Structure 1
Amino acid sequence: MTAQITVTEGGIPHNTLMIYGLVGSIIGIYLTYLNTVTGTQLFSFFGGLGAIAALIWGSSTIKRLCSYGIGTGVPSAGMLAFGSGVIAMLLATKFGIASPIVALVLGFVIGAILGYIANNILAMKIPVMIQSIAELAAVGALVMIGFSAMVTGSFTFSPLSVVQVSALGGTVNSFGASLIGGGLLAAIFMLGSIALQHGFNACLGPSEKQDRTLMLTAEVGFLSMIMVAIFSFAFLGFFALIISIVVSVAGWYYTYAQYIALSKRDAAAWLDSKPIVEAEGH
């Protein structure tokens, strides 16, 4: 038996946010394919924007799931999303141009299986568990493939796993210097999972508001995007790197300023509140 703890009412319905996040993420990731079409790396930053669209969707999903009072489930949901999403993402990158779509589908399938296990075998009995874990796994897959595309300029397996390095006057293929072999995918895992769970984890409570929570998620997403842009220094050309950094910093500055403004708005609503006085002797 579970008891739902109601958070905020109103705002944009979750299913609407899911559609916006899903479509926005897929479009953003696919726009990085312009690198292949144009023979440049200048469009890599779109992968990061696609990842942030998915993070906003995922933040709403975490709020919906964790409103059932599962306590430390907020950060653990973020880790579960990326732990399952990385499987979908890595498998999907073998499907070429269809990789983002395959990542989305595999994420939903893997997440649904994990959600079923949690709800029916572990007996958590949360009504939205299966759908929410399925969504979070899909979000994790999209965020990682989006940030990976931002770093390398591509979302297919070969550019993520092999790069050419100079050796003995020639060039050789190196796995160790790649995004996957060099461990940068693990860093993307952590940057994405923190951005996913931090918004609701920081804003939950009786005064939680949807716009403030999602704005914080976007702000942390852009902060992660700055780090991802720095990672791309090892893979992209100078101008592509500068574009990614400028877009990331501009996005972070805007969302940070908006989050502070929303925080002041919500804090002002409590100015006239009084502390609860407990009766003496209790």
Structure 2
Amino acid sequence: MPASRRVRGIADIAAESVTLLGAGRAILLQLAHPAVGHGVARHSSFARDPMKRLHGTLRYIYSLTAGTPEQAAAAVARVNAVHAGVRGPAADDGSHPAYDARDPELQLWVAATLHDSAARVHEAVFPGVPPEVAEEVYRGYAVLGTALQLPEGMWPATRADFAQYWEREVARLRVDATTRSVAQEVLRSRRVSWFLRPAMPLVRLVTTGLLPDQLREPFGLPWSQRRERVFHAVMWTVAAVYPRLPRALRHAPMRYYLRAG
């Protein structure tokens, strides 16, 4: 880790824009949870307007991790208002269970994907965070769920507990035609802002490389030894260049969303 890089809590990791490299992974992991994925597919404009969902998620994360109490409260109120109407019955054919965006189990999974994806990218770029600091950062991520309907005791107490929870939940994930279609629409980039479209092949590569192996094929994401080599080369380059960027540039997205409220 560079000598100038000290991590003290969740705000120090959430502020680093490089963790956005894990956003696609977090989204696909959420879609692969049958209840979350079908709730998104039926009640969200996510596939039609992925930037709106991304903006909302980033505003929520930054407000809770680095914002004022007033910004945090406003972010929670916005999310609760959206979640209020996201619910539906189980499918008659058993393809997905009933879903309710206010369900603590679903909120735990969403918060877990945000933590795990950000932590993996951060560790790749800033390796060597002391274990005791990593535990403090991990505990801080609970706020992403507990600020909503997630009881505080539901967040796994330690990183070791989280690892067990994560392994168990990832084994239960599955992708069907509905959730695959949403994922493909998002990754095809036709609905993202024009200035981001040239970067979408790189986004797809990094998203695929960060995904658990067993989810690549179900999502229709091709992988090969060549793609894996390119992925590792990209991550190596990011790790070599990003820490040397000015802090003001690295934290620019956070400051933008906090100013926007």
TM more than 0.5: no
Structure with greater Cα Rg: 1
User: Scaled by the length of structure 1, what TM-score is found?
Assistant: 0.28
